[in-house]
Chains A and B, each alone.
Chain A
Amino acid sequence: MLRQIEGSRAVAETVARCRPEVVCAYPISPQTHIIEAIGAMVKAGTLSPCEFINVESEFAAMSVSIGASATGARSYTATASQGLLFMLEAVYNAAGLGLPIVMTLANRAIGAPINIWNDHSDAMAARDAGWIQLFAETNQEAADLHVQAFRLAEELSVPVMVCMDGFILTHAVEGIDVPEQSDVDAFLPPYEPRQLLDPANPISIGAMVGPEAFTEVRYLSHLRQLDALELIPELASRFNQAFGRDSGGLVHSYRTQDATTVVVALGSVLGTIKDAVDRRRDAGERVGVVGITTFRPFPFDEVRRALSGATTVIVVEKAFSVGFGGVLSTDVAMATHDQDLTLRTVIAGLGGRAILRSSLERVLEDGARGRLESVTFLDLDHDAVDRERQRMASQRRSGPTAENILGDLGAVASRIG
């Protein structure tokens, strides 16, 4: 039933309907509403049997999730930003051990400077941890992806991270159809672990592996991720049959037929990009957009196919590799290396900077006319940057950059965008 509810609420209810047996999480904005709601459901007994375990940190949250999953319990957690970094060692372990934990990542920037707002720096920091990473475009998709994530994780014994834009999705109230319990039960069979810590049949999990076998164990992880490239579209198709919604999958193209300029992006900004694309189409431009739902494993073939007609590809990214440039851009460049096209990177939305449709329309126009630099920082205040560079050049003790820029810009709370 369609209800007007907060994204976090929809995810919490959906996760509950996936019947997790252990939920262990440490609160951090913008994930808090999700785990608060699940905690309340466990306490009220509406999510049962389930143990909600309070811990002292994210490192403990992921460690408990690993332990719970190893005993055969369906395990769920959620985090964001610094919380993900704090648990990162255990995040790698969950994947290396092949434990099918599902985690919501309410995407948020990473400090310093301290920032609680949305971007994709956290997801990119965990890009190589061995988790499957799915990105939701809408709150409906965020909810739906969790149902698919548990099934995907458990079928392959690989942990899955469902990335949803912090605040932009987690705190948005919109019409969302939370999957019904009976439908979820039909879609998601009980968890049958490949490996199980059981006192009746003792085994060990987590052996030390030397050079003689480390490559093989890691390569098998890689193969399981490649298997996911087959399974993800299949699950999305089965989900569509069962729930009547097009959620999940590898990539989604919008108005790319005959498009010469195509934007590539992850997550909720795709909505605003589609609005920008429609307006450029109205103006006669041949533009389209490709949304990447599955970022890890990276769907090279599907991306190449989706971009096969494009002469200009613009990757809009909410994160970047300092001293290098775009992260997603690199993957897209690899996928299209044998195609004759111009690839441009637009870094946007860092630390919650609003990504405006008008700015995106300008990007599309500039891209189509060959006026985009290879890497552009969208709506960058060049004057403020120049003034700080001058301060640094004119005196040795120029002070902390963040404080200088804030002082330079004055009252930032007065800005709307």
Chain B
Amino acid sequence: MDDATAKGLDTMFQIRFHGRGGQGVVTAAELLSMAAFAEGRFSQAFPSFGSERTGAPVVSFCRIDDRPIRSREPVIVPNALIIQDVTLLHQVDLFAGFPAEGYLLINTSKGFEELGLEQFVRQFHPRRLLACPATELALEHLGRPLPNAALLGGFAALTGQVTIDSIQAAIRERFGPAAGERNAAAAGAAYELGMAQAKEFSDAATN
């Protein structure tokens, strides 16, 4: 994390999405930017500009700020990292530039321990980690393994950067009535899971 961010002078929040072609990685960044925009903030979403093919590693980026965003560089130091596909763990340098204060959201029905990340995630704040079974939620609500909408629900719960209402409104706008409703439901379910985890932490803190 650079100096300005560390000093809290920087109001920008930067998100990096990792996934595979076909998982809606680019759409996820766009939806998040739409949600932030709807809340009156400045936002920018862009893909990693690859010649994307189904299954190939894909990266997308989103910036949210209270000021106009001028930067066109990729997100080097993300405030949040969203990993849509854990099989990328050993293929891509997912955690490049990821700071200890960052938020980490992983699509998995397993825990960090089972993913072999237990040691690794110890350096991060536990309240800023969320293992979200987004693919399972998508299968349940959509009948298709598209984890992006659910992960955005998890993101809203984990970071509080956008409300779940704005996320769901963006999803409905993009996907239309039927698919929009199902994706919004998946996002809502992931949001509930994220909020439940947050509550566990705050209960543990007060006990």
Instruction: Give the chain A neighbours of B38 by CB distance below 8 A.
Output: 4
A-B residue pairs in contact (CB < 8 Å), sample of 22: A6-B30, A29-B51, A167-B49, A168-B49, A168-B72, A171-B46, A172-B45, A173-B33, A173-B44, A173-B46, A271-B69, A271-B70, A271-B72, A272-B70, A275-B70, A279-B4, A354-B73, A356-B76, A357-B73, A413-B57, A414-B91, A416-B74
Q: Mark A383-413, 1 if CB is under 8 A from B, else 0.
A: 0000000000000000000000000000101
Q: Mark B21-50, 1 if CB is under 8 A from A, else 0.
A: 000000001100110011000111111111
Would you call B43 and A175 a contact (CB within 8 A)? yes
A271 to B68, CA, bound (A): 10
Q: Mark A30-46, 1 if CB is under 8 A from B, else 0.
A: 10000000000000000
CB distance from B91 to the nearest CB of A (A): 7
Q: Which residues does A use to contact B, with CB under 8 Å?
A: 4, 6, 29-30, 116-118, 165, 167-168, 171-175, 268-269, 271-272, 274-275, 279, 352, 354-358, 411, 413-417
Given contacts A416-B76, A417-B76, contact A357 B71 (CB under 8 A): yes
Instruction: Give the chain A neighbours of B44 by CB distance below 8 A.
Output: 172-174
Instruction: Give the chain A neighbours of B93 by CB distance below 8 A.
Output: 414-416
A6 to B29, CA, bound (A): 12
Partner of B49, one of A118, A271, A415: A118
Interface size class of B (residues with CB under 8 A): 20 to 34
Beyond A116-B51, A172-B46, A355-B72, 8 extra complex contacts between A and B, CB < 8 Å? A167-B46, A171-B46, A175-B37, A355-B73, A413-B57, A413-B91, A413-B92, A416-B97
Residue in A closest to B37 when the chains form the complex, CB atoms: A4
- Count A-B contacts at CB 8 Å: 88
Q: Mark B42-86, 1 if CB is under 8 A from A, else 0.
A: 111111111100001101000000000111111110000000000
Instruction: Give the chain B neighbours of A271 by CB distance below 8 A.
Output: 69-72
CB distance from A172 to the nearest CB of B (A): 4
Instruction: Give the chain A neighbours of B47 by CB distance below 8 A.
Output: 167, 171
B16 close to chain A: CB less than 8 A:
yes
Would you call A174 and B34 a contact (CB within 8 A)? no
B96 close to chain A: CB less than 8 A:
yes
Residue in B closest to A270 when the chains form the complex, CB atoms: B70
A341 to B4, CA, bound (A): 33
Q: Is the interface of A mostly helix, strand, loop or mixed?
A: loop
Q: Mark B4-23, 1 if CB is under 8 A from A, else 0.
A: 10000000000010000000
142-172 of chain B: CB within 8 A of chain A: none
CB distance from B5 to the nearest CB of A (A): 12
Would you call B76 and A168 a contact (CB within 8 A)? no
CB distance from B107 to the nearest CB of A (A): 19
Would you call A354 and B74 a contact (CB within 8 A)? yes
Given contacts A357-B71, A417-B74, A417-B76, contact A174 B33 (CB under 8 A): yes
Given contacts A172-B44, A173-B34, A413-B92, contact A272 B49 (CB under 8 A): no
Residue in A closest to B49 when the chains form the complex, CB atoms: A167
A171 to B26, CA, bound (A): 10
Residue in B closest to A116 when the chains form the complex, CB atoms: B51
CB distance from B59 to the nearest CB of A (A): 7
CB distance from A293 to the nearest CB of B (A): 16
Residue in B closest to A117 when the chains form the complex, CB atoms: B49
A29 to B51, CA, bound (A): 9
Given contacts A168-B46, A352-B49, A413-B92, contact A272 B72 (CB under 8 A): yes
Count chain B CB atoms within 10 A of each CB in A6, A268, A356, A414 and give the residue with the most. A414
A4 to B46, CA, bound (A): 12
Partner of A414, one of B30, B50, B92: B92
A165 to B201, CA, bound (A): 46
Count chain A CB atoms within 10 A of each CB in B4, B37, B42, B91 and give the residue with the most. B37
The 8 closest A-B pairs by CB, nearest first: A271-B70, A4-B37, A167-B49, A172-B46, A173-B45, A174-B44, A173-B30, A4-B34
